[in-house]
Amino acid sequence: MSFEYVKALHIIFVVTWFAGLFYIVRLFIYQTEAMERPEAERNILKPQLDLMASRLWYIITWPSAVLTLIFGTWVLSYRMGFLEQGFMHAKLAFVVLLYAYHLGCHKLFKEIQAGRTRWTSTQLRIWNEASTLLLFAIVFLIVLKNTMSMVWGLVGLVGLGVSLMIAIRLYKKYRSKS
Q: Rounded to an integer, what distance in angstroms lies between the CA atom of residue 36 and that of residue 175?
A: 16
* 92 contact partners, CB below 8 Å, separation of at least 6: none
Is 10 annotated among the ligand-binding residues? Answer: yes
Q: Is 107 annotated as a binding residue?
A: no
Of 5, 166, 4, 13, which is closest to residue 95 (Cα–Cα)?
Answer: 13
The span from the CA of 56 to the CA of 21, in Å, is: 9
Rounded to the nearest angstrom, the gap between the alpha carbon of residue 133 and the centroid of all alpha carbons in its chain is 9
> Distance between CA atoms of 59 and 167, rounded to whole angstroms?
31
> Could you give the CA distance from residue 9 to residue 67 in angstroms, rounded to a whole number?
9
Q: What residue type is assigned to position 132 of the chain?
A: T
Q: What's the CA gap between 36 and 94, in Å, rounded? A: 35
Q: What share of the chain is helix, strand, coil (3-state, %, to 5)?
A: 90, 0, 10
Q: Summarize the annotated binding site as residue ranges.
A: 10, 91
Q: Summarize the annotated binding site for heme as residue ranges.
A: 10, 91
